[in-house]
Structure 1
Amino acid sequence: MAETEIRSVMVPISGAHILVPNATVAEVVGYSDPQPVPDAPEWLLGTFLWRGWQVPLISFAALTETAETERTNGARFCITKTLIQNERMPYVAILAQGFPRLTTITEDNLTEVPMDSKPIAVAGKVIVESTEALVPDLDRLGHLVAHAAFGALPLTS
């Protein structure tokens, strides 16, 4: 029987990595200054225009308290599809420190790391080969970002 493989992307953030399914990544683009969102939490860095969409940019490191600040020199935006059914916010961008890399997850190269408590929007922690990574709860993340960026916007259609 063939081993199950899941194509994923390892995204470097300040002080950690996050692991997301490759199918959720729309594009990786270079850093540009986002437009601030009034009264937004510190982890919501602003929004930017991409392919006609106003895309919220987040610092996953700040959201999960992995790092207080992230550098922008050499940073990238990892634009991901949201899992929430929302016509106004089909994408969210995560500030990446460098280039995300493709990785194939198999049962042999993945180890789950127990966590006493999980930061908000984190589903779990894993080790892929020798790299430790947080696995975001993409559904929860989508709802948090929609509320922070757009306020009273309906979260699902």
Structure 2
Amino acid sequence: MADLPREIRGVMIPVSNGRVLLPNATVAEVITYATPERIADAPDWLLGRLAWRGWRLPLFSYSMLTEASQAEGYSNAKVAVLKALGGQARMPFLALLTQGFPRLVTVTQDLLIPSGDARERRTGVLAEVLVRDDHAQIPDLEAIETLVARALAA
């Protein structure tokens, strides 16, 4: 069995009322925010669709999805284009609304400390962690992809 890597390159992504931590390989690109095309009858956290490299990406608010925020600000907003994990040919990417530029971090087992109560986990949150002195959430991307796909199919 191959040894697991001792460190992982990650990105700390600012969102309203917090940060999310993802592997750097998950982020395809960070782009300037543009007003998305609305999706009829979509939940509030599904902000619309953005055009990107020939795709119409579903743009979601992680903070609104996880109920950490009721609304989003757009003055410093960027969009992190994420590689979808679910293998759906019609949705190979998702767009995450951010509140600024992501920051590269090196994550090791010693630096990643679980925090929060796992029994009180919210929708879309896989774990709450501390990386050095930064609180962050690790999003449950598979669950988020499923929620986005269901909302688009409705």
Supply the AA of the counterpart residue of 2:37: Q
The match for 2:10 is: 8
Q: TM-score, normalised by structure 1?
A: 0.92
TM-score (norm 2): 0.93
| Secondary structure of the corresponding residue to residue 110 of structure 2 | coil
Q: Which runs of 5+ in 2 are unaligned?
A: none
Q: Confirm or deny: 8 A CA contact 1:121 1:137 kept in the other structure.
A: yes
Aligned residues: 151
The question of 1:68 aligning with 2:61 is answered no
Q: In 1, distance between residues paired with 2:58 and 2:76? A: 19
The alignment partner of 1:83 has SS state of coil
Helix, strand or coil at the partner of 1:142 = helix
- How has the CA–CA distance of structure 1 residues 2 and 135 changed in structure 2, closer, same or farther, with 3 Å as cutoff? closer
Matched residues in 2 for 1:84 and 1:2: separation?
23
1:57-103 deviation line (CA, Å, top 9, x unaligned): 00000000111111011200011011111111101011100101111
Tell whether 2:30 aligns with 1:28: yes
- 8 Å CA contact 1:3–1:107 kept in 2: the answer is no
Q: Which amino acid aligns with 1:151?
A: A
Aligned-CA RMSD value: 1.6
Aligned to 2:52: 50
Matches within 5 A, 1:66-145: 66-115=68-117, 116-145=119-148
Structure 1 vs Structure 2: percent identity of aligned residues?
Answer: 44
CA distance in 2, matches of 1:127, 1:142: 25
Q: What CA distance in whole angstroms lies between the structure 2 residues aligned with 1:103 and 1:33?
A: 29
What residue identity is the alignment partner of 1:127? L
